[in-house]
Amino acid sequence: MIKIILISFLILNFTSSIVYSKNDLYEKIDLFGEVLENIKKDYVDEVDQSKMMDSAINGVLQSLDPYSAYMSPEMFNEMQTDTKGQFGGLGIEIGMEAGVVKVISPIDDTPAANAGIKAGDYIVKIGKEQVQGKSLLEAVKLMRGPVGTSINLTIRRKNVKKPLEFTIVRKVIEVQSVSSKIIGESKNLGYIRLKSFNENSDKQFLKSIKNFEKKSKIKGYVFDLRNNPGGLLTQAINITDFFLNDGEIVSTKGRKVAETRKFFARKGDEIGGKPIVILINNGSASASEIFAGALKDHKRAIILGENSYGKGSVQSVIPLKNGGGMRLTISKYYLPSGKSISDVGVTPDIFVEEEGDDFRINSEKDNQLNYAIKLFSS
């Protein structure tokens, strides 16, 4: 009898919580309508209600995480045509942090990198437009423009008191994702710089490896993922697989079963177990963190540099009925250790900071690369 009463109480309590939840939601919708009506009636200036609703929708999505966002039909169309080279870009990957636009990384040999933009910089002004309060996609739209035109960016940088001004000329960004060379005093180290994970990165990467392996004197490798903002998950898995004989590479977890998956390495190490040092910094994100994190967890590589960015989530672009679209986070990445990359990133085994405002990757003052080379000689 007691069990029946307890079950009845639980069912009644559960049902009442659903009713309360629905009632609470309807009350919030009514409240939202009341706010809109008061704005329409009493606000000092006349407001474009369509734009206001777009902002409200975007506000809902941005409250979830920095990567979810609404795209109006115009912005959605621009995003699709951008890949066809109709717009000029600056060559930076950006994200949101506490409502402020932050540079994840400048891409090598692009206008932004050549101008001196750095990972971790905060963009406070684009032209004459204040960035505070704008969505990530709105900031991207402001930075786009015809090839050959210039744009002024106002930047706030850590440990620099005054804002920095940069004038950058837009161009079509074409990234050659892999470059390689022989380094070290004895010319016996293979150095591969991976700038992004695009459709052909794995083929380019493997080609560089095979060219090095033909040279019998190669005793180890340095893989440079600094300022690599990521790219395709499949490419991160393929390239990581080159250096593992077995074991998990990465897993994704989401609410849907289809978004919860595990990816494993196949047998075969392309370099026969030779030592690897991977360079990362604050601009290493997403696919870069999967590659570095997996090899670290399997103790297959030493990670050197700074803590990575911490972009460990998967976004899907969903078309909407009005011709617009939305970016929505549908799953998160987890390393073989079970740790999430999101907001944490990959911690290096050896912390070596980039030094000075004039620091450039692959320059004579590249203390991180110099440290990596010394590891092989010690």
What is the domain-level CATH number for residue 100?
2.30.42.10
* Residues identified as active-site: 286, 297, 311
* 3-state secondary structure at position 178: strand
Give dist(CA 156, CA 137) in Å, integer.
20
222 φ, ψ to 5°? -115, 120
**Does residue 8 come out as left (phi exceeding 0), alpha (psi in the -120 to 50 range) or beta?**
alpha
Residue 110 sits in the same domain as residue 219? no
Residue 49 falls within a domain, yes or no? no
- Give the per-residue pLDDT at 22: 65
252 to 229, 259, 279, 282, 335: CA distances (angstroms): 19, 7, 24, 22, 9
User: What's the whole-model pTM score?
Assistant: 0.76
Residue 89 falls within a domain, yes or no? yes
- Give the per-residue pLDDT at 122: 93
- Give the per-residue pLDDT at 151: 92
Residue numbers of the domain that contains 104 = 69-169
Task: Name the E strands within 51-174.
Answer: 69-71, 92-97, 100-106, 122-126, 129-130, 150-156, 164-169
Residue 57 falls within a domain, yes or no? no
Residue 101 falls within a domain, yes or no? yes
Residue 356 sits in the same domain as residue 252? yes
Residue 159 sits in the same domain as residue 183? no
Residue 337 sits in the same domain as residue 197? yes
- Give the per-residue pLDDT at 206: 96
Q: Say how many C-beta atoms besides its own lie within 10 A of residue 286's C-beta.
A: 27
Residue 328 falls within a domain, yes or no? yes
223 to 43, 104, 209, 278, 372: CA distances (angstroms): 57, 19, 11, 5, 10
Domains in the chain, number = 2
Last residue of a domain, one of 138, 169, 200: 169
* 3-state secondary structure at position 358: coil
- Give the per-residue pLDDT at 8: 44
**pLDDT beneath 50: ranges in the chain:** 1-18, 82-87
374 to 189, 367, 378: CA distances (angstroms): 11, 10, 6
Residue 134 sits in the same domain as residue 210? no
317 φ, ψ to 5°? -95, 120
